[in-house]
Amino acid sequence: MENKILCGKPIHNEQTVAHMKLGLILECPRQGTDHQVYEYVIKKLCPAIEVVVVPSGSTNKPGMIAKCGEVARTLIEAENCDKVAILWDLIPVWGGTACRKEDVEAITTNLNAAHVDLTKVKLICIEPELEGWLIVEGTALTKYKTAICHPHPVKKFKGVKLSERCNDAKKTVSKYLERRYNDITEAIRITKNIDDFDKIARKHESFARLKTFIDEICS
């Protein structure tokens, strides 16, 4: 259910996609880290898309998976969404195993149980987690630290590509900031310093899948 990686920058015609309504199912509450960041990214990639998030009442992956069928059906039938994207982090595992295949199977089972039209649903597993693509290219994090440390000079952050099962992404941000990283307030602020999403997509396969999906429904 995942598309090939395409990193080109298509020309989006807002008139042709003005009707596009995208529902998001995330493993966080409304205005949680994922909600803030992914709604911002999607709107930057395609301003014409209307993004709808229906809280599942869950704050972790197992809870999101258990309720995804019900929420997807609500987004499609009650909210009239044209497409639904389910995004989740591979890490942490929440007592399970770090296996994208198992996650996909569990999500698909719950979607089928709720009689959801699978052709309207896109599954995107972020490996290892949101911060994984946030640190893969160093410019945004460097700009963020420069702003909060002004007028003091800061060392440039060199992008880091973590393995898909590495849980050091947040620790890497904290180490660079030289204090504890608060994802609820800081992930979106770092994201807003990204100037080139194509560059992120070229370096991070999971983010590329998200960008490709948005480019396709926005073209």
Query: Measured between alpha carbons, how far is 136 from 112 in angstroms, rounded to an integer?
Result: 35
> For position 98, what pLDDT does the model report?
81
Q: What angle do CA 19, 25, 30 make, to 5 degrees?
A: 95
Which are the contacts of 73, defined by CB distance < 8 A and separation ≥ 6? 114, 115, 116
> For position 11, what pLDDT does the model report?
42
Residue 9 domain-assigned (yes or no): no
The residue range of the domain holding 161 is 21-218
Which are the contacts of 155, defined by CB distance < 8 A and separation ≥ 6? none
> For position 77, what pLDDT does the model report?
97
Residue 14 domain-assigned (yes or no): no
Residue 4 domain-assigned (yes or no): no
pLDDT by residue, tens only, the chain of 219 residues: 444 333 344 445 444 445 799 999 999 888 899 999 999 999 999 999 999 998 777 888 999 999 999 999 999 999 999 999 999 999 887 767 789 999 999 999 999 999 999 999 999 999 999 999 999 999 999 999 999 999 999 999 999 999 888 989 999 999 999 999 999 999 999 999 999 999 999 999 999 999 999 999 998
Residue 86 domain-assigned (yes or no): yes
Residue 6 domain-assigned (yes or no): no
Map tokens 């399970």 to a residue.
Answer: 96
| Whole-prediction pTM | 0.88
Three-class DSSP labels, 4-58:
CCCCCCCCCCCCCCCCCEEEEECCCCCCCHHHHHHHHHHHHHCCCCEEEECCCCC
> For position 30, what pLDDT does the model report?
86
Query: Measured between alpha carbons, how far is 61 from 71 in angstroms, rounded to an integer?
Result: 14
Query: Measured between alpha carbons, how far is 91 from 93 in angstroms, rounded to an integer?
Result: 5
> For position 95, what pLDDT does the model report?
66
Q: Helix (H, G, I), strand (E, B), or coil: what is residue 211?
A: helix
List C-alpha distances in Å: 46 to 50, 72, 129, 188: 9, 22, 23, 17
Q: Please choose, from the candidates 120, 74, 124, 119, the residue with its C-alpha nearest in 3D space to the C-alpha of residue 103.
A: 124
* Structural domain count of the chain: 1
List C-alpha distances in Å: 22 to 10, 49, 105: 19, 7, 22
Residue 181 domain-assigned (yes or no): yes
E strand spans, the chain: 21-25, 50-53, 83-89, 121-126
User: In the structure encoding, which two tokens stand for residue 71, read together?
Assistant: 């929420």
Q: Please choose, from the candidates 206, 152, 210, 148, the residue with its C-alpha nearest in 3D space to the C-alpha of residue 177.
A: 148
Residue 7 domain-assigned (yes or no): no
Omega within 30 of 0 (cis) for the link into 55: no
Residue 79 domain-assigned (yes or no): yes
